[in-house]
Amino acid sequence: MTRSEQLFERAVKVLPGGVNSPVRAFRAVGGKPRFIVKGLGSHILDEDGLEYIDYVGSWGPMVLGHSHPDILKAVYDRMVNGLSFGAPTALEVEMAEKIVSMVPNIEMVRMVNSGTEAVMSALRLARGATGRDKIIKFEGCYHGHSDAMLVGAGSGALTQGEPDSKGVTKGAARDTLMAQYNDLASVECLLDANPGEVAAVIVEPVAANMGVVPPKDGFLQGLRNLCDKYGALLIFDEVITGFRLAAGGAQEYFGVRADLVTFGKIIGGGMPVGAYAGSRSLMEQVAPCGSVYQAGTLSGNPVAMAAGLAQLQILTDHPEIYTVMETSAQYLTNHLRMSAEKHGVNMRVNQVGSLLCPYFTDTPVDCFTAAKTSDTEKYAKYFNQMLLRGVYLAPSQFEAMFVSSAHTQKDLQFTAQAAEESLAVL
């Protein structure tokens, strides 16, 4: 038995499925998960000494790669003075100021501890601010595991085929309406059918939990216009796209204004962090200055702030990183397409910025229905062939490949070669 297998045997006795988050269990791709012991730059090392080029990157946070020296130093320098106080620290102010300076259309931020918490809180604020109950989300989009969002959810829920989770009561799900991504008519139909009742439309500006599905031209602006017409708030869930597509996230990248924006992942630099942000008039409705309650023991934790701030500072100081990452993702996309064509494999590759996803289908993937035509069995074979060759991809068809600034030209060439060999034997 390998060390990972030994650890997994122990893990399944004390952790549901042997993991602390379902997608990590490799159930969609077969085999047993690799237990990771170290990360450096674009590479990770497992317990058996096997090294991989990492395209999961902790599902997005490691945009600069693993163990970036500036981030590690910031964490060390902070932690030697204490880990958590439950009292204000200067770092929380600096983090909020940093986010406000980087992201368009926001004046205030509240820090929380995960993307789930950020979304849950933003939805409560939208309902409190509008006095309306209903929320429109998109089938296949994932916004964390709060009850109201586990309806037609993507990511791990979709991976294991249960987009509607047990344990979510009818009452909790009743006010969640489902639209289709890239289909404005499906949104207007719901707004028309629920006049004066929709508090917000929440959307992933790039749907990165059904693989990677870009917004069609006009889709996001169309949502903006519909929200203005029907008096609903537009929430951009930027837990993935925030600070990844651009320093200002999807609002900057697509030039569309949201009313509330949620963040996670990158702003923590690898530590548990989430945030939601918006105008002063909206955010000052949050306790203690407003009547929308939200709280958290470790919200704004100084060590997490130190890690996140260090990462955001590097992104601010080196805007060229965004071009480098997009170019890297385009290189991989082009080589995947060429290799698939050469070996007669039905594959569509979607790419936006540093996000990409190969789908095993000959259908253009521009919506959730199309994403589901992908041959997930073939994806599993591809995943395992790549893993064998030292390339660590998402163990699910319905996740993104995350390119970082740490992926070198050598990594990209190695990955392209591994993909060529893998597709040849599918």
Q: Among residues 270 and 302, whose Cβ is nearest to ligand KE4?
A: 270
Nearer to ligand KE4 by C-beta: 33 or 65? 33
E runs forming strands in 221-319? 233-237, 260-263, 274-278
* Residues engaged in binding ligand KE4 (CB under 6 A): 21, 23, 59, 114-116, 119, 142-144, 155-156, 204, 209, 237, 239-240, 264, 274, 399
Concerning whether 133 is annotated as a catalytic residue, the answer is: no
Instruction: Point out the catalytic residue in the list 52, 142, 276, 392.
Output: 142
Give the tokens for residue 47.
Answer: 């317990």
CA distance 25 to 159: 11
The answer to whether 171 touches 94, Cβ cutoff 8 Å, is no
When the beta carbons of 207 and 345 are compared against ligand KE4, the nearer one is 207
Q: Give 262 or 415: the residue with its C-beta nearer to ligand KE4.
A: 262
The dihedrals phi and psi of 49, each to the nearest 5 degrees, come to 80, 10
- Is 142 designated active site? yes
Q: Is the peptide bond before 205 cis (omega within 30 degrees of 0)?
A: no
DSSP structure class, residue 71: H
CB of 80 to ligand KE4, least distance (A): 27
To ligand KE4, the closest distance from the beta carbon of 342 in angstroms equals 30
Alpha helices by DSSP H, listed for 90-218, are 90-102, 115-130, 155-159, 170-174, 184-193
Task: Record the tokens describing residue 377, joined without a space.
Answer: 């069995």
Cα 269 from chain centroid (whole Å): 14
Cβ distance to ligand KE4 smaller for residue 204 or 423: 204
CB of 95 to ligand KE4, least distance (A): 16
Cα separation of 152 and 169, whole Å? 14
Strand pairing partners for 349?
358
Longest CA–CA separation in the chain, Å: 61
* DSSP of 181-193: TT-HHHHHHHHHH
Say which of 237, 259, 366, 411 is annotated catalytic: 237
Q: Which is nearer to ligand KE4, 15 or 424 (CB)?
A: 15
Tell me phi and psi for residue 213, to 5 degrees: -120, 110
249: closest CA among 208, 300, 211? 208
99 phi and psi, to 5 degrees? -65, -45
One of 265, 372, 378, 381 is an active-site residue; which one?
A: 265
Strands 260-263 and 274-278: antiparallel
Minimal CB distance to ligand KE4: which residue?
A: 115
Three-state DSSP at 51 gives strand
**192 included as an active-site residue:** no
CB of 413 to ligand KE4, least distance (A): 27
Q: How far is the CB of 153 from ligand KE4 (least distance, A)?
A: 10
At 65, which helix (H) or strand (E)? none
**Smallest separation, CB 116 to ligand KE4 (Å):** 3
Q: Which is nearer to ligand KE4, 142 or 382 (CB)?
A: 142
Q: Cβ of residue 217: shortest distance to ligand KE4, in angstroms?
A: 21
d(CA 208, CA 357): 9
Catalytic positions, please? 142, 237, 265
